[in-house]
Structures are given as C-alpha cells and as structure tokens.
Copies of this chain bind each other. A is one copy, B any other.
Amino acid sequence: MNRFLTVVSVEEAVRTLQSLASPPKPETVPLAGSLQRVLAEDVRSDSDIPGFDRSTVDGFAVLARDTVGASDSLPALLYFRGRISMGSPPSVGIRTGECAYIPTGGVLPQGADAVAMIEYSEQVEDQVLIQRPVAPGENVVQRGEDFARGSMILSRGHLLRPQDLGVLAAAGFTESAVYRNPRIGVISTGNELVPVDQDPRPGQVRDANSFMIQGFFAEHGCEPRRYGIVPDDPHLFREALEHALPKSDAVIISGGSSKDVRDVCAQVIGELGEVRIHGISIQPGKPTIIGKIGAIPVIGLPGHPASAYIVVRVLVTPLLERMTGRSFPPVIASAVLAENIPSPKGREDYVRVRLEEGKAIPLFGKSGLLNTLVQSEGMVRIPAGSEGLEAGEMVEVIRW
C-alpha cells in the first residue's frame, strides 16, 4: 500500500458520504416520545378543532347587537338565563335581551354570537349590566378556527417541537409516524486499547474515542451502539464488522491511529465492499477512510481524538442530515481572533478555539491530546483557498 495517501477535498468527501446515505425509514412511536423527531408523513386534522364555537374568556354570552353603545354610565341591561357548564352542551339558549354566564372554553349557547368579559359586566340577581359593547364573534373561537377538518396540521419533514406534540394531541394522535433514528455501530480497533474499566499497562491506553463518538451520534438524533474493542487483525476485524453491519445503518471504526490499523481497516472494507476514499485534505483528520459495504456506509476515523471529533463534525454531520431528515445548522459565535493561524493553501484546516470575552484563542495542541478538545468551545475553519487568518480578524466560531 502506498505510504502517501491520495487525498480528496472536503467537498468531495462530503458529497461521497452523502451519496452513500440511505433515506430515513418511517416508524411509529408514542406521541410523548416523538419530541425532536421528524415527521415521516403529512398530518391532517380528521375533525374541526375546536368542535364547537368556544368562549375565550369568562363572561356572558350575548347577542352583539344588544350591547351596541353600552358603557359604564349607560350599560346594556340583559336578562340572565342561566350558566353554561364546562364539558357539556349548553342547557340554555338565549334570545335578544338575554344572556348566559359562560366560562372560558365553554360552548357558545344557541342564539349568542359574542361574549362580554366578566370584568366589564355586573350581575344583580337575574339582571346583568354589560358595560362595554362587543362585536359579533368577539371573544369566541369559531368551530374549526384552529384547524378545520381535513386541513394540513404539520407536513412531512417537520421536526416536532413541544407545541407540535400539543397540536397532534388535539387532533387525536396517540402516536406519530416519524423517521427512525439511524443505528450507528461503533467498533474500536487497536492493540493498545483497553476498556474503560481496566487499568492500562505500559503501552496501553483506555478506549476514550468510542465514548466521544457515541456521544456525538446520540447528540445528532442517532442510536449509537459500541461493539467493543477489536485487535488489529484482519480476521477478527472482519468478524466484528460482519457482526455489526446487519444491525447498523452506518458503521464507524474508531480508535487505532497507526498506519497498520488503517491498512487493516481499508483492506477488510475493500474485501467486504468498497473503499471510496482514503485520505482527505483536512487538518486534522487526513487519514480518514470512507467506504461502503452493501448499502451501509463505513467510516474509518483517524485515531487522534481531536482528528476524529473534527471529522465527525465536519464530514459526518452532512451524512446524518440525509440519514435523519433533520438539519443540524452550526451554532456560530463571532469573535476576534487572538493569534495568527497560518494554513497551507489547498487544505481545509480546523483549529480549536477557546472563547474569552469576545476573543477566539486558538488552541494549537497536538491532535493526539484530549485536553485541547475539552478546553475548546468550538473551532474556526480556514478554507482550502486561504493561507491563514490574522490576529484581530473577525472570525466565525463553530460552537460545540
């Protein structure tokens, strides 16, 4: 195998990855569990909401024309016919010169066309003084005014927010048809890796990346599952892949940072499927592998934690937008760059930064360290066409 990678641009890597995405599949979940899920179909109302003309205030149901010109000094005098109860059809109707007490949410009685607020009314035995005129329809929600029967409530592709769950409940949906969360298999490789609960012996390190990667996918609407640590052996690696593939919509290989591991990874992906990209013009993150086995995208991440994290954020996020039907717009903070960031032309660089009082302070630590990743609040992108950024420039920080 060639020791120098044939690198492709970030754009090409993103395009390739997106082309490997299978579209999201629908599933049905209970309404309360569908928050921040994406609707897999249009939702229409099967009935008028509300199903009756409804008062929006506590007050008196009236005929609007009976209140024309009413004021404190010259109130309209109406005959009290009774009270509307909540939750049942009105037992009274009114005619001109009459009114009925109606609570907020109550059914407008036969004959009434508006509600006078209780704040501007006064009841004296069976007489009610109305001190403000009301217009027809005032303080009333008409039947079907919120959603008419058959009208579109929410459309396919909509990300469900709390108020959307409310409207689905109002329309009688106890379940939602949403896109399934992609299942992401995470396989750790590398002879040096030991599980978290083990004390590393000389030469060993704990498998930190797979937890970071799992967290990233959980944060992006996926169901990640770690498939443990596999030594850097083609047979065992192939076994692990064949175990994870049938249960995954994408497989991520995490951990090993040596060329040997990358070679094993590329070799086995090539045997079972196809390596599409091996090397990307991105720093950090160059030795990334992108392949496909059957319909499943397989991504070999670089072993350095900062490299792996930047690769998932920059390259894998657009893939997940395709796979989940969601969009993950970056959260941007503007800041003044505190130091020069040089960058070779032709390579897209991502530099971790700390944010402090409106300044973006680059953290130039080695990408093999976790500490700069933990201390940073985001990253600054230096496009492939640029030779770097200068101290004092206003830059966009992509928050994480």
Contact = CB atoms under 8 A, between A and B. Distances in A.
Contacts of A169: 196, 206-208, 210-212
B370 A167 contact: yes
Contacts of A104: 257-259, 303-304, 368
A19 interface: no
Interface string A84-96: 0111111000000
B366 A141 contact: yes
Contact of A218 (B31, B35, B87): B35
Contacts of A215: 32, 35, 160-166
Given A50-B205, A118-B3, A232-B86, A105 B166 contact: no
Question: Quick one: which of A49, A54, A104, A154 has the most chain B CB within 10 A?
Answer: A104
A168 interface: yes
Interface residues of A, number: 95
B366 A56 contact: yes
A128 to B, nearest CB: 14
A86 B258 contact: yes
B170 A206 contact: yes
Q: So how many copies of this chain end up in the complex?
A: 2
A79 interface: no
Nearest to A151: B371
A58 interface: yes
B205 A105 contact: yes
Contacts of A309: 162-163, 166
A364 interface: no
Nearest to A209: B166
Contacts of A4: 119
A328 interface: no
B3 A368 contact: no
Interface string A256-297: 111111000000000000000000000000000000000000
B192 A146 contact: no
Contacts of A258: 58, 86, 103-106
Contacts of A162: 211-216, 218-219, 309
A220 B87 CA distance: 32
A136 interface: no
A52 interface: yes
A19 to B, nearest CB: 26
Contacts of A212: 162-163, 165-166, 169
Contacts of A400: 161, 163
Interface in A382-400: 400
Interface of A: 3-4, 31-32, 35-36, 47, 49-52, 54, 56, 58, 85-90, 103-107, 118-119, 141, 145-147, 153-154, 160-174, 190-193, 196-197, 199-216, 218-219, 226, 232, 256-261, 303-305, 309, 366-371, 373-374, 400
24 contacts: A3-B118, A31-B211, A35-B218, A49-B370, A51-B204, A54-B368, A56-B304, A58-B258, A86-B192, A86-B203, A87-B204, A88-B202, A104-B259, A105-B303, A141-B368, A162-B214, A164-B374, A165-B212, A167-B374, A168-B211, A169-B207, A169-B208, A170-B370, A172-B196
Closest 6 CB pairs of A and B: A162-B215, A166-B212, A103-B258, A170-B208, A87-B191, A87-B192
